[in-house]
Amino acid sequence: MSAATQKVSGGAQAPPDAGSHSILSLILRILALALIDGITIWLVYQMVFDGYWPLAAVLALVTLWVNVVFLSGRFYPLRYVAPGLSLLAIMVLYPILFTVYVSFTNYGTGHLVTQQLAIEQIESQTFLPPDATLYNWTAFKNPAGDFMLWMVNPNDPAEVFTVTPGTEPAPRSCEPPADIDGYQQIPSNQLFGALGALSSLTFGVKPDNAFQVSQSVLGQAAQYEQLFVYDAAQDAMIDQQAGEVFTNIEGTFTSAAGQKLSPGFAATVGARNYRALFTDPALRSTFVQVFLWTVIFAIMSVLLTFILGMFLAIVFDVPEMPLRAPLRSLLLIPYTIPAFVAVPVWVGLLNPQFGIISQMIGMITGGWVPPWFSDPFWSKIGILVIQTWLGFPYMFVVVTGALQTLPNDIYEAADLDGANAWHKFQSLTFPLLLVTVGPLLVASFAFNFNNFVVIDLYNRGGPPMPNVPTPVGYTDILATYTYRIAFGASGVSDYGYASAITIMIFLILFIITQFQFRFTNMLEERGRNV
């Protein structure tokens, strides 16, 4: 055997079982992918059958991508990040895409199910033909909980039969016995309890021998007929009794006279939700009011917390201050208390009748107390006070850390130039602090732009705005406004319109954030010149 066949590149001898290891690895990889593919195919089938095709499509694409990555040597480096990227696509990307999709639909109260389910529910409705025979019945029940009816035609006493759900009627020729074929007659004192279950069943076999128990007349049953039939060619429901046609109009079967069948179903409505947001005067006015307050709340929250936090950080940056360490620790207490605990406490403190803060204000003003919860202006002031108390410790910690990074030589140079404390703060400390905390201020603005907890816990967005088409209060920000639309603060949910607002919030916040980052870049350039 030659030396060339005994050695590989670099002089290292090839392991004798390297080929077997690679084959085994390939087999295990194929088996694992086959298992994943099998589970995915089953899940996709169920999702498509139930009408959740967007999720099914994303799951199928992610699985296909995983197969390509793990079977192709070209994408070998991606194998290490493929699981994480797959979860990212399913858990993050899909909700975003689904929100965009929902914003172009009528998804909401009255339109929550798929078209197939809506058709099935509407077609389940029945009516009693004018010439239908009304039978007298006696109910039976077996130990398994199944029901049977003993039917008698009062116009023809010889017509007697028993019938169970899904079976053909069986002729009988005697009076109802106490038990028959394993079924026991239901006592009269238990009949009312079983009436609900009996009326929900169809006894016999559709369409010719199907009987239903009357819900209005006890002890009577008849052959009810299907009221509505779906016509796929017209995409409409046909009223079998009146002959009226109900056409599909944006997810609701509607007659020419405007009568609508329930339930509706989720359907694509194009840009209707976005058009309503911009063209409907009432909706546009409400959105603008909420948007302006959202911007004001976010800006004021950042400014107040930053100013107070920076002031305290500068004050406690003096090493000679007595009790410096314990006082610093006390200032961090609001940061350790969750908002869902702190806000209700503040609500109690501001209570106009019993709150300590309100009582102290009343003693100073001669009895006048701000209407913290009933007046729009004072409600907003109360929210800003609470948010300042909750947020300043964060800014205090950030600014305290930033102060430690500032170089001492520039302050020594300023002292030599005769600069006083205000000049040093204005020209040195503040610009350099902004360079450090600028991105954090942008993040704080984005957080407060969607600060749901404080707004909802304080007064649930109240006081409510009068004469508005959607449920909204004067202190609602876009996040809480969207929540009330989506989850039915008034008993009606409109996920489509709420999703459209969500997309608008994202676009607005994206634009504002871009301008803020440009501003921070300017601050960084200024900081380099300090």
Q: Which single residue is written with the structure tokens 């609001």?
A: 334
DSSP string spanning 363-381? HHHTS----TTTSHHHHHH
The answer to whether residue 12 scores a pLDDT higher than 50 is no
Distance between CA atoms of 296 and 364, rounded to whole angstroms? 29
Q: Which two tokens stand for residue 391?
A: 């947020």
- Mean pLDDT value of segment 185-207: 86
- Those residues whose C-beta lies under 8 Å from the C-beta of residue 120, and which sit 6 or more positions away, are none
Q: Which two tokens stand for residue 145?
A: 């909980």
Phi-psi region of 102 (alpha: psi -120 to 50; beta: other; left: phi over 0): alpha
Q: Are 115 and 265 a contacting pair, CB within 8 Å?
A: yes
**418 residue type, one letter:** G
Q: What pLDDT was estimated at residue 14?
A: 46
**What percent of the residues of the chain are helix, what percent strand, and what percent coil, each to the nearest 5?**
55, 15, 30
Taking only the tens place, the pLDDT of each residue in 261-296 is 999 998 989 999 999 888 888 888 999 999 999 999
pLDDT > 90 fraction of the chain, expressed in percent and rounded = 39
Confidence tier at 4 by pLDDT (50, 70, 90):
very low
Q: Hey, which of 69-83, 201-215, 343-357 has the most confident mean pLDDT?
A: 343-357
The answer to whether residue 8 scores a pLDDT higher than 50 is no
- Mean pLDDT value of segment 489-501: 83
Mean pLDDT check: name the lowest of 5-19, 152-166, 206-220, 512-526.
5-19
Q: Kindly report the pTM of this predicted structure.
A: 0.73
Burial degree of 137 (CB within 10 A; 0-12, 13-18, 19+): buried
Full set of structural domains in the chain with CATH: 18-102 (1.20.58), 126-226 (2.40.430), 277-528 (1.10.3720.10)
Taking only the tens place, the pLDDT of each residue in 198-218 is 988 889 987 777 899 987 777
Distance of CA 483 to the CA centre of its chain: 8
Phi-psi region of 243 (alpha: psi -120 to 50; beta: other; left: phi over 0): left
Calculate the alpha carbon distances from 399 to 75, 311, 338, 396 in Å: 45, 9, 22, 5
Q: Which single residue is written with the structure tokens 């559709």?
A: 206
Q: What pLDDT was estimated at residue 96?
A: 86
